[in-house]
Amino acid sequence: MLSIRPEQPEDHAAVFVVNERAFETSAEARLVDALRPVAQPLISLVAVLENQVVGHILFTPVTVEGDAGTPKAMALGPMAVLPEYQNQGIGSQLVRAGLEACRQIGERVVFVLGHAEYYPRFGFQPAAPKGLRYKHPDFDPYFMVAELSPGALQEMTGWVQYHPEFDNV
C-alpha cells in the first residue's frame, strides 16, 4: 500500500535516485540537495511503496516582485516518480498531499512550471493572465498558479522569483 510522508534524512539518497531516474539527468536531483539546507519553509514529501521510496515532491518559497511589494508564496517542483511506477496515480497523490501540506502551514498561493495538461486538474491555471510572470514570456504556457485560499491572488502581480539555486538547473 502506498503511503505519502515527510521526507526524512535517511531518504536523501533514495530521493536523489528518484529524481535522477525520472528526469534522466542529475540536475533536478542536485537541485533538491542544494535547496534542503537553504530554502525555508520547505515541504519535501516522499511516496513509499513496500518500504521503497518511489516518488518525491518538493515545495520551496518564492517571492513576487510587483506593485504590492514582495508577497511570498510557494513553488512546486521538482516532482518525480520512478519510471516503472509512473502513470499509476502516485504523482497525483504527491501533488494533492503537498498542496494540503502548504495549506497546513498557512501558504495561500503555489506556482508551478510544468506540463500545462497535467497541473490544471489540481487547480492550477495559467499565471500570465493574472499578471504573474516567470523570467521570460516564453515560459507563459507552462507557468501556472493555484490559489489555496480564495482571493489570495487579488493583489498579487509581478515577476515570480524562485530561490537562486533554481538558476543552476
Q: Is residue 169 domain-resident?
A: no
Per-residue model confidence (pLDDT) at position 66: 74
Nearest Cα to 57, choosing from 106, 107, 114? Answer: 114
Biggest CA pair distance of the chain: 49
pLDDT digits (tens, 9 = 90+) for 37-73: 999 999 999 999 999 999 999 999 999 987 655 678 9
Total of domains in the chain: 1
In a domain, residue 128? The reply is yes
Report yes or no on 48 lying in a domain: yes
Backbone φ/ψ region at 80: left (φ over 0), alpha (ψ -120 to 50), beta:
beta
pTM for this prediction: 0.94
3-state secondary structure of 23: helix
Place of cell 487547480: 123
- Model confidence over 1-14: pLDDT tens digits? 999 999 999 999 99
CATH for 155:
3.40.630.30
Q: Domain limits at 87?
A: 3-164
In a domain, 70, yes or no: yes
